[in-house]
Amino acid sequence: MRRRNKLILVLSLLGVSLIAALFLASAFGAVSISLPDIVKMALNKVAIFDFPSTWRAAEETIIFQIRLPRVIGGALVGMALATAGVLFQGLLRNPMADPYIIGTSAGAALGATIAMLLPINLAFLGFGLVPIAAFGGALATVFLVYNLARVGGKTPIISMLLAGVVVSSLMAAIMALLISLSDRLQLNLQSVYSFLLGHISVTGWEQIAVIAPLVIGGIIGARFFAFHLNALSLGEEGAAYLGVEVERDKILILSLGSLLTAAAVSISGLIGFVGLVVPHAMRLSFGPDHRFLLPAAALGGGAFVIIADLLARTIMAPTEIPVGIITAIIGAPFFLYLLRRTRKEYAF
Amino acid sequence: MISLQISQVDFSYLDGLVLHKIDLSVKAGEIVGLLGPNGSGKTTLLKLASGILKPAQGEIRLDGYSISQLSRKYIARKVAVVPQQFHIPFAFTTGEIVMLGRTPFLRALAEESEADRRLVNNALELVGISELAERRFNELSGGERQKVILAMALAQQPKLLLLDEPTVHLDIAHQMEILELVRELNTGQGLTIIAAMHDLNLASLYFDRLILLKEGRVWADGTPNQVLTEARISEVFSALVRVEQHPLTGTPHIVIMPKGSANHQK
């Protein structure tokens, strides 16, 4: 029971830091707006409070129409990637697995590249063609990899990893070919680059309204598999002995993880390290029990991407750095530190 | 009460037939050792009995129900399996691993109950590893890990316990400890036990019934005295042995005869 209370405390602290990060990131930008004002604005919106306005109307517009959608978008991306990372690492029993491991990144990148190639300007639910194509490409690739790896009614994890690597390389090659052949893409190299390195491109509430239910639904859905993910640590056979319908769970967990990843990719491109580092940091700090790990990683991932995105748009303002560069610069050394400090916990 | 009936079962992996027309039944409360050379089908037979492999021909019944009709969850509440080795990539504690044995009884979003925790503590105590509960599984020795997995299987409250070479890789003290425990689970707790064994002498000492497999067929089935004869052992293992009597138990004791030792016999 004491352990349980400790875990609840940790989850609450992570939740508080996520909210703190939301407000902090809203305060900074081309125009600085004071934190108390933002808190008051937010409370006026959501609750029965009625604080007198000590801010300009323009500031309120900036907060609600520009910053909050972006900051919340960042939170959703981080939550989705970290949860997908936990799901893939748990299912594949591979601590090096990340949300992109079975081909979502290559599929999304190829989809996005093809979309940039097309001279069509289309928008659907606030999304342009590129995010839609990235979303579709990610899901289609996972489906392809899963079916390629399927042998005699089963999909062994090792063949899935191999098929993922091969399909990813093939798609990366096709993407490189398209870029080198197309003048249009050569001119758009900046956008391709920005997609590959990650850039949170949320321009309004419409996108949030589509992505938020996907991400929140995915996170809640993932929690249903916590016990089974724990059992899957014993391997497919061991989990089956404990009553897990392994092939069915595999499809469901892969679908959830891929949907979360695709949702994130559609508004942010490929942000590396979040799905790898955040699950590890949580697991090494608080243990591998997925009942706790899943919510902890979601909250921690959200806060991490918000802060990374805040740095990305402020440290070299007005130039914006791709957020994936920040996550890698923070994430890689941190990961190495964790690995060296606790190497004995992993029996490779 | 549980009984296992295997009738006319054939099984083959992609590269060839492994089991031929296996017919055997195990009654509730029996303790059975499966013997046979490497590749004779012991592990495959255990996997069929636990339902994770499906027979190509024939039928396996658990308590009268065809195992192919039963859900994994249902089977896991009746049958627990102790495989040879587990590799666990994450740093679970021993207590957490044993709690995994409660998986078939837990609902998706529920917490484990006081009763679950009591069962886990009982299992740890029964196996004699309560003091390891907070230790990390990956830091334990081979013998300790084997006990943890056994405790996890017991937390499942099974009626039938399947063990795949539970003493392989263990030193002689741990071998005895595990087998004494298995024996005690059978006599004290009434668990039905089937264990694949590679050591004929240990099998002879600790099991009431032995089943000898050769090339995927049941070659002999009976008490240690009936099964472990010099003729059978040389037929099945192509090894030269002499069978003597254990000085205390009177069960067969197999003495290996090194090559060239035949000359010394006269």
Count of CA atoms in the C-beta half-sphere (13 A) of B79:
31
Between chain A and chain B, the number of residue pairs with CB atoms below 8 A apart is 87
- Residues 71-90, chain B: which have Cβ within 8 Å of A? 71-77, 80-81, 83, 86-90
Q: Domain extents for chain B?
A: 4-265
User: Which chain A residues are closer than 8 Å to B80 by Cβ?
Assistant: 241
User: Which chain B residues are closer than 8 Å to A94 by Cβ?
Assistant: 89
Q: Judge whether B241 and B233 are in contact, CB under 8 Å.
A: yes
**Residue B210's pLDDT band (boundaries 50, 70, 90)?**
very high
Which segment, B87-91, B108-112, B198-202, B238-242, is predicted with the most confidence on average? B198-202
Average pLDDT over residues B104-121: 89
* A93/B72 Cβ within 8 A: no
* Pairing mode, strands B57-62 and B209-214: unpaired
**Residue B262's pLDDT band (boundaries 50, 70, 90)?**
low
What integer pLDDT is reported at residue A33 of this predicted model?
Answer: 80
Residues in contact with A91: Cβ distance below 8 Å, sequence separation at least 6, in sequence order:
A157, A229, A232, A249, A250, A253, A254, A257
Report the percent of chain B where pLDDT is more than 90.
67
Does residue B81 surpass a pLDDT of 90?
A: yes
| Overall fold of domain B4-265 | Rossmann fold (3.40.50)
Q: Which helix (H) or strand (E) covers residue A345, if one does?
A: none
What integer pLDDT is reported at residue A348 of this predicted model?
Answer: 37
Does residue A54 surpass a pLDDT of 90?
A: no
Identify the contact set of chain A against chain B, taking CB-CB distances under 8 A: 4, 93-95, 152, 223-228, 230-231, 233-235, 237-238, 240-245, 283-284, 287-289, 344-347
User: Which chain A residues are closer than 8 Å to B52 by Cβ?
Assistant: 237, 240-241
* B89/A233 Cβ within 8 A: yes
* B138/A242 Cβ within 8 A: no
Q: Which residue has the higher pLDDT, A81 or A207?
A: A81
Distance CA B52, CA B80 (A): 12
**Residue B58's pLDDT band (boundaries 50, 70, 90)?**
very high
**Residue B263's pLDDT band (boundaries 50, 70, 90)?**
low
Distance CA B176, CA A146 (A): 45
* B92/A345 Cβ within 8 A: no
What integer pLDDT is reported at residue A112 of this predicted model?
Answer: 84
What integer pLDDT is reported at residue A347 of this predicted model?
Answer: 43
Is some CB atom of chain A closer than 8 A to the CB atom of B135?
A: no
Structure tokens, B71 = 């859900």
Is some CB atom of chain A closer than 8 A to the CB atom of B93?
A: yes
Q: Which residue of A has its CA nearest to B109?
A: A224
Distance CA A24, CA A33 (A): 10
User: Which chain B residues are closer than 8 Å to A242 by Cβ?
Assistant: 76, 100-101, 103-104, 156
* Count of domains forming chain A: 1
Is some CB atom of chain A closer than 8 A to the CB atom of B65?
A: no
Lowest mean pLDDT among A79-93, A144-158, A254-268: A144-158
Beta strands in chain A (DSSP E): 123-124, 127-128
Q: Judge whether A112 and A133 are in contact, CB under 8 Å.
A: yes
Average pLDDT over residues A85-109: 85
What integer pLDDT is reported at residue A199 of this predicted model?
Answer: 87
What secondary structure does DSSP assign to A71-128, as a single string? HHHHHHHHHHHHHHHHHHHHHHT-TT--TTTTTHHHHHHHHHHHHHHS----EETTEE
Q: Which residue of A has its CA nearest to B53?
A: A237
Q: Judge whether B58 and B7 are in contact, CB under 8 Å.
A: yes
Is some CB atom of chain A closer than 8 A to the CB atom of B257?
A: no
**Residue A344's pLDDT band (boundaries 50, 70, 90)?**
low
* B103/A244 Cβ within 8 A: yes
What integer pLDDT is reported at residue A83 of this predicted model?
Answer: 96
> Which candidate from A233, A237, A287 shows the least CB-CB separation from B88?
A233
Handedness of CA B224, B226, B228, B230 (dihedral sign): positive
| Closest approach of A165 to chain B, Cα-based (Å) | 21
Q: Which residue has the higher pLDDT, B42 or A102?
A: B42
User: Which chain A residues are closer than 8 Å to B49 by Cβ?
Assistant: none
| Residue to substitute from B13, B44, B82, B90, interface A, most A β-carbons within 10 A | B90
Can the peptide bond before residue A318 be classed as cis, meaning omega within 30 degrees of 0?
Answer: yes
φ, ψ dihedrals at A214, nearest 5°: -60, -50
What integer pLDDT is reported at residue B31 of this predicted model?
Answer: 95
* A347/B138 Cβ within 8 A: yes
What integer pLDDT is reported at residue B166 of this predicted model?
Answer: 92
* B91/A345 Cβ within 8 A: yes
Average pLDDT over residues A205-230: 92
Q: Which residue has the higher pLDDT, B261 or A8?
A: A8
User: Which chain A residues are closer than 8 Å to B138 by Cβ?
Assistant: 344-345, 347
* A289/B96 Cβ within 8 A: yes
* B139/A243 Cβ within 8 A: no
What integer pLDDT is reported at residue A2 of this predicted model?
Answer: 64
* Pairing mode, strands B209-214 and B31-35: parallel
What integer pLDDT is reported at residue A20 of this predicted model?
Answer: 92
Which segment, A127-141, B9-23, B134-148, is predicted with the most confidence on average? B134-148
* B101/A242 Cβ within 8 A: yes
What secondary structure does DSSP assign to chain B, as a single string? ---EEEEEEEEEETTEEEEEEEEEEE-TT-EEEEE-STTSSHHHHHHHHTTSS--SEEEEEETTEEGGGS-HHHHHHHEEEE-S-----S--BHHHHHHHTTGGG--TTPPP-HHHHHHHHHHHHHHT-GGGTTSBGGGS-HHHHHHHHHHHHHHT--SEEEEESTTTT--HHHHHHHHHHHHHHHHHH--EEEEE-S-HHHHHHH-SEEEEEETTEEEEEE-HHHH--HHHHHHHH---EEEEE-TTT--EEEEE--TTGGGGG-
Question: What's at A87, amino acid-wise?
Answer: L
Q: Which residue of A has its CA nearest to B113?
A: A1
* B138/A345 Cβ within 8 A: yes
Does residue A216 surpass a pLDDT of 90?
A: yes
* B52/A237 Cβ within 8 A: yes
User: Which chain A residues are closer than 8 Å to B89 by Cβ?
Assistant: 93-95, 233, 346-347
Q: Which residue of A has its CA nearest to B50?
A: A241
**Residue B115's pLDDT band (boundaries 50, 70, 90)?**
very high
Does residue B65 surpass a pLDDT of 70?
A: yes
- Residues 1-30, chain B: which have Cβ within 8 Å of A? 14
Q: Which residue of B has its CA nearest to A284?
A: B91
What integer pLDDT is reported at residue A243 of this predicted model?
Answer: 94
Does residue B266 surpass a pLDDT of 50?
A: no
Question: What's at B157, amino acid-wise?
Answer: Q
> Which candidate from A223, A230, A346 shows the least CB-CB separation from B89?
A346
The whole domain housing A201 covers: 2-345
| Closest approach of A23 to chain B, Cα-based (Å) | 31
pLDDT tens-digit profile of A173-190? 998 898 888 877 777 777
Lowest mean pLDDT among A196-210, A246-260, B167-181: A196-210
Q: What is the CATH number of the domain that holds A237?
A: 1.10.3470.10
